[in-house]
Structure 1
């Protein structure tokens, strides 16, 4: 005799799904509002009331998601970092070595900031902390640094210094976007200069920086559509 086990799978409650979707939409609305507010006032400002007004939600709704100004800023920074990766890294991963990948990433990030200046304002106002959370700083850039050093492409003495030589110019590049000094040529020259600071000779660095990289495309539903 064959025995069949009872189905242990519980049916998905449609109301639970709807509630989860509504919660995620509200969270996204708060994050989009917070990007604009932090971009205008900076990370040190007390912005909760401003974000509540920007997002058009109640105070109680806000506190269902975030408890403090600092918690909100760190979450926005994390989402911004991960959003940059989701847009830029697919282009970067098409390159054949770490030097090309880094050049592509630098050019693409400046292009993204030119398309969405609110990103540049957020990072400029937030400073290094605006890029300190998320996988951009903990995974993606260290991945290319390690790869480049292992291949002998980067001759800088240690990974931490390489990291600083990359992110210092990136933050200043966002300032250049805000001040109207950034352009495609600026992005290419930035990439060349960073590669040279890591030990790539000038001729090769220029060759990497001026390669034909795919254009940046911001998908529907992106956090940067704000």
Structure 2
């Protein structure tokens, strides 16, 4: 029984140390992103596609977007729960080459309109009517500014999900979370959570209690010392 308690205690401490390590990793990533990207790199979309600089915060101009091409990404294990709305970004509306930049849509107004367009409850004819009625909202030239949340060299779940959609994507495509900026607060929050986990993990390690549990938790009886007046 004592061994079982020791194993459980060790596992609990390992969990807290694992939480600390994960929080520390996320904290370092967020702080590094914030430190290295005080301002977004501003380029035209065409220039960015040609040079493909490795930066985390971008501001791309001359972006043509056809929102009727929006695709939905669903949460893993739940085909009815939408994780996000993603749309290809092109240099012109007639470009049919593989897409290098994908925008994650953050605008609530755009999402509400897309929910009507992409609803499974309407016919294709009704969907076309909605697109024609809101032509200026669905066919736009935009300046997109945001963080790169997925890129080449990182086999993330999001990249795998997008690769399985109907979009024709460049092997090195990136995903921009429109409107998102690097922030120091996120890094400090992860760091605080990690330190709390570390403190809990360390404080749960009390050798005195383990020794006591190994002895069955019962204190040893006091020994009576013989006095000089007592006969042997």
Q: Which fold has the larger relative contact order, with Cα–Cα distance below 8 Å and residues 6 or more apart in sequence?
A: 2
Structure 2 length normalisation: TM-score? 0.28
Relative to total residues, which structure has the larger helix share, 1 or 2?
Answer: 1
Larger Rg: 2
Relative to total residues, which structure has the larger strand share, 1 or 2?
Answer: 2
